[in-house]
A and B are shown apart, each in its own frame.
Chain A
Amino acid sequence: MIVSPPFLYALLLMACPLLAIFLFSFWTQDFMTLDTSFTLDNYREIVEKPIYGALLQRSLYVSSCVTFVTVMLAFPVAYFVSFHVRPDRKSLWLFLITIPFWTSYLIRVFLWKVILGYNGVINTGLINVGLIDEPLTFILYNVNAVIITLAHAFAPFAILPIFVALEKIDRSLLEASQDLGESKFMTFLRVTLPLSMPGVVGAVLIVFIPTIGDYVTPELMGGAGGKLVANMIQTQFLALNNAPLGAALAIVAMLCVTVISVIFVLINRRWLKGRS
């Protein structure tokens, strides 16, 4: 079977390692050696120590905000490209939208520091214009900075699924709605928006799930109060040498994200039904 090489590869390098990390989370690290007896100690520690709960909560909050901001900002752009751009220009627009996404991620995140920073582009700009007297401090080294930067990094991820859903909408439905007396705005609310929901749901999932795993942005932009669960996982694995606890944290984080995603899909299932 020709599908077997990629299937086996995904099985060996994704499914098996995920299973391994799951098992691993039930073991404990005893200084340099690994204690392989089954225990729930790691999970107990995550539940009992408030820092882990706080980190998880903050991570889910940041991911939700990023998802909301990204999708809200992206929808009008996807709508514009699908409905108002000449068909032969559409791929050029999509190309322009995706280019920043492919270019040096680390340096892009770092440059947001330059834009938002104390002597940054926004602050010096606003001071020179005379709108503010002192630099704004609420946009660097905190959760807001992390949200802005992540919303920028995941923008194309949100635009593309919405665009695809909008492209599939039969344009004659819109004419029909207006012929039957709906205004343009009501047509958008009652026809275009419901039909584009599969794309919106896709966009939400494809932004929400990976953002939980990012630790570059919180590390560079978050300051002391903006660290997220991914930073803690990284610390447990690489600095504290407590891989089992890190593994348990990774499992808990994944579980939270999965549960929230499933609930979100269930809430929106009536928009997803009956369309391919």
Chain B
Amino acid sequence: MSLRIYAIAYLLFLYAPIILLPIFAFNDATIIAFPLSGFTTNWFAELATNKSLHAAVENSLFIAVITALLSTWLGLCAARAGAMHQFPLKAGIMGFIMLPLVLPEIIVAVSLLVVVVQVLELGMSNWTIIAAHVLICTPFCIAILNGAFQNLDPSLEEAAMDLGESRFSAFRLVTLPLVMPGIIASMLIAFTISLDEFIIAFFLSGSSPTMPVYIWGLLRFPASLPVVMALGTILVAMSIILLTIAELLRRRGMARAGVKDKGGFL
């Protein structure tokens, strides 16, 4: 019983910042502190007219969509290889691919910065950010897709090939539908990570900032903080919706693959 109380208190600790966010987003004061003064929706209205914010959001959406597609494709390759094939050094290679999960983001950022600027002598663009985001998102995609591929019987595909389908069409017609919920969940997670990632984007963005980089700039100006709160409220609401969809799909995928749900994204 006391454990349950502790767990609920812990959840409150986890949610404390998120609960405060909408409170200040609707608060009619430029200072982010208690006591609250009154209700307003002005800060949301300001968001709608801010041109440079719109440009940053557009950038971030572009980066996040491409990242989601590429990292899910790479994750699909790795998860399929891990589940269905045997090859030499398998554990080592899979561990190597998962390594970005524990690599500090600043290390990824500065090492790619050095390569792009000094070695390749290229400029920064959205594509440099995409390259780095795909690297850090792929391990998460693999973790989710592994769940979808677990217990997926390889003989299903073999049966389809025995019945005259080519290797590719056997994959498309048999395996793909079974792992589809996992694929969509993986894309949603990669999208969410990329949209929210700041440390790497800060190092690798060119002249046009992404949304987190833009928010970072705003945090320095006290006057713009309420607008940041409004933006944050929208972002949190959106990511909760996306994550809920991803979770429901992940569960459906597990059910299709006939695995008992052990829960969790990781």
Contact = CB atoms under 8 A, between A and B. Distances in A.
A111 to B, nearest CB: 4
Interface stretch (A138-146, A176-184, A211-219, A266-274): A211-219
Most chain A CB inside 10 Å of its own CB: which residue of B104, B192, B247, B263: B263
A47 interface: no
Q: Helix, strand, loop or mixed for chain A's interface?
A: helix
A15 B97 CA distance: 10
Interface residues of B, number: 87
Contacts of B142: 6
A77 B219 CA distance: 33
Given A117-B33, A209-B104, A14 B261 contact: no
B45 interface: no
A20 B119 contact: yes
Contacts, number: 248
B39 interface: no
Contacts of B78: 3, 6-7
Interface residues of A, number: 83
A16 to B, nearest CB: 7
Given A20-B114, A91-B261, A250-B110, A106 B212 contact: yes
A18 B132 CA distance: 13
Interface string B84-125: 010100000110110111111111101111110011000000
Interface stretch (B8-16, B51-59, B61-69): B8-16
A255 to B, nearest CB: 11
B180 interface: no
A253 B111 CA distance: 14
Interface string A169-207: 000000000000000000000000000000000000110
Nearest to A155: B14
19 contacts: A3-B77, A5-B74, A7-B96, A9-B74, A10-B138, A17-B108, A84-B4, A91-B264, A98-B264, A105-B197, A108-B18, A114-B33, A115-B17, A152-B13, A152-B14, A230-B106, A233-B110, A234-B106, A254-B107
Interface of B: 3-4, 6-7, 10-11, 13-18, 20-21, 24, 31-35, 73-75, 77-78, 80-82, 85, 87, 93-94, 96-97, 99-108, 110-115, 118-119, 131-132, 134-135, 138, 142, 189, 192-193, 196-199, 203, 212, 215-216, 219, 228-229, 231-232, 235-236, 239-240, 243, 247, 251, 261-266
